[in-house]
């Protein structure tokens, strides 16, 4: 997938909306799910994953566990667990590591890592139905961790309070760092996503890992855009996270997010299919029903793409539905139009053409323009 916006292939629940994707892994899969439902996608990986196959930290942790067996190993991600086994193979320690893991209690965070454990010829002792590290922690603490040696496969995301709680309970915790997150080598796509978010030309931004959220916030801070980014995420651009751990960096900045009940890409996309159309403005105008989406308008369920200038005018008219909006006020709503009121007339002509029903917007001579709100609705919107 490219970092440029992709036009929706068909009219679906997300048609007319633009969604930012910050994922590094499985970005193509998430983008395809969004586009299949009609969304335009702006892909900007906010980080990159650096494997630690040659990293001394992982090698040291592996040798440590081979020299002195742990009581428990907590496997947190499938990619991380597979990466650990592959790295050990590369060092000639693969069979020794698998032999060690057969001797100890292995806990799997969820079904994917459970599958990776079994593919390696091992069997997990237990896995929570919730896929929650909090539930893993509760089980360990209930069993008692005093004097136990617990290895935790780290996976680049914060495990809030997990290691600290184990150590407070008297456990010796050995971290197994399989890979780490780094900023992307090319910051251009991230900067374009930031600019689009601040300009409100995105309708939602998706996050599938906490490091991606933290990386985007960090880049915004470096560019002096953090206040603008937070304002956009607070009010106009929907931040959608795959789960509560992913949301932590945003919540730390006071940003409320939406999350699916099941922490998967499919439910995340389904959530957007509910949330974004639910936030769209719908009005009865000149005998038609119009629904205003991010870069398009549904006119009686006919999707009509609208250029950015036209969308700016339409939103200004919709803030006062049925009321006359002056040319001067509409000029202020046009990005980069300067002081030439002729720019309003040009953009308005293009808007009417894009909508396909010119009578939706009335010209009020010498005063400005108004949405031709249906008479039955006038009283409601005039109050």
What is the architecture, at CATH level 2, of domain 18-47+184-279?
Answer: 3-Layer(aba) Sandwich (3.40)
Given a cut of 60, is residue 68 above it in pLDDT? yes
Q: Which fold has domain 50-181?
A: Rossmann fold (3.40.50)
Give the Cβ contact number of residue 308 at 10 Å.
12
Q: Do domains 50-181 and 281-382 have the same CATH topology?
A: no
Q: Please give the biggest Cα pair distance in the chain.
A: 87
For residue 175, give both structure tokens.
């971290």
**Strand-by-strand arrangement of the 204-207 sheet:** 40-43, 18-21, 204-207, 238-241
Give the per-residue SS3 of 83-112: HHHHHHHHCCCHHHHHHHHHHCEEEECCHH
Model confidence over 319-376: pLDDT tens digits?
A: 888 899 998 899 988 876 566 778 889 999 999 999 999 899 999 988 899 999 876 5
Q: What SS3 state is found at 141?
A: helix
Res. 53: pLDDT tops 60: no
Cα 113 from chain centre: 22
Specify the higher pLDDT residue, 43 or 79. 43
pLDDT tens, residue by residue, 17-39: 999 999 987 889 999 999 999 99
pTM: 0.74
Contact indicator for 80, 99 with CB cutoff of 8 Å: no
CB 83 within 8 A of CB 51: yes
Q: Give which of 357, 358, 360 is closest to 373, Cα–Cα.
A: 360
Residue spans per domain, the chain? 18-47+184-279, 50-181, 281-382
* Distance, CA of 351 to CA of 280 (rounded, Å): 18
Look at residue 215 in the predicted model and tell me its pLDDT: 92
CA separation (Å) from 247 to 113, 151, 185, 214, 283? Answer: 21, 25, 24, 9, 34
Pairing type for strands 48-51 and 179-182 reads antiparallel
Pick the CATH number of 281-382 from 1.10.10.10, 1.20.1270.10, 1.10.238.10, 1.10.3720.10: 1.10.10.10
């Amino acid at each position: 997938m490219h970092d440029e916006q992709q036009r929706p292939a068909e009219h679906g629940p997300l048609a007319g909306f633009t969604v930012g994707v910050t994922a590094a892994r499985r970005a193509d899969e998430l983008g395809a799910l969004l586009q299949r439902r009609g969304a335009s996608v702006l892909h900007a990986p906010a980080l990159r994953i650096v494997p630690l196959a040659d990293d001394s930290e992982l090698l040291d942790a592996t040798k440590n566990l081979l020299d002195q067996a742990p009581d428990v190993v907590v496997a947190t991600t499938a990619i991380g667990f597979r990466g650990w086994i592959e790295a050990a193979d590369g060092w000639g320690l693969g069979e020794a590591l698998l032999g060690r893991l057969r001797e100890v209690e292995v806990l799997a965070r969820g079904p994917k890592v459970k599958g990776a454990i079994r593919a390696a010829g091992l069997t997990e002792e237990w896995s929570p139905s919730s896929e929650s590290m909090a539930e893993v922690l509760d089980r360990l603490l209930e069993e008692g961790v005093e004097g136990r040696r617990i290895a935790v496969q780290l996976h680049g995301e914060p495990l809030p309070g997990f290691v600290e709680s184990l150590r407070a309970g008297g456990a010796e915790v050995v971290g197994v760092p399989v890979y780490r997150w780094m900023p992307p080598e090319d910051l251009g796509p991230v900067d374009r996503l930031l600019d689009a978010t601040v300009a409100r030309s995105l309708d939602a931004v998706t996050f599938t890992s906490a490091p991606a959220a933290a990386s985007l916030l960090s880049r915004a801070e470096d560019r002096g855009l953090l206040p603008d980014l937070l304002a956009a995420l607070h009010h106009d651009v929907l931040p959608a996270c795959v789960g509560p751990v992913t949301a932590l960096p945003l919540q730390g900045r006071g940003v409320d997010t939406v999350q699916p009940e099941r922490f998967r890409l499919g439910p995340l996309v389904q959530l957007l299919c509910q949330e974004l159309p639910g936030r769209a403005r719908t009005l009865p105008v000149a005998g038609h029903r119009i629904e205003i989406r991010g870069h398009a308008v549904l006119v009686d369920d006919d999707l009509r793409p609208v250029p950015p200038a036209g969308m700016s005018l339409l939103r200004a008219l919709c803030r006062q539905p049925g009321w006359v909006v002056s040319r001067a006020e509409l000029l202020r709503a046009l990005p980069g139009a300067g002081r030439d009121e002729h720019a309003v007339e040009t953009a308005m002509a293009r808007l009417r053409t894009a909508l396909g029903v010119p009578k939706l917007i009335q010209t009020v001579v010498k005063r400005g323009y108004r949405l031709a709100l249906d008479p039955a609705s006038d009283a409601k919107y005039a109050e």
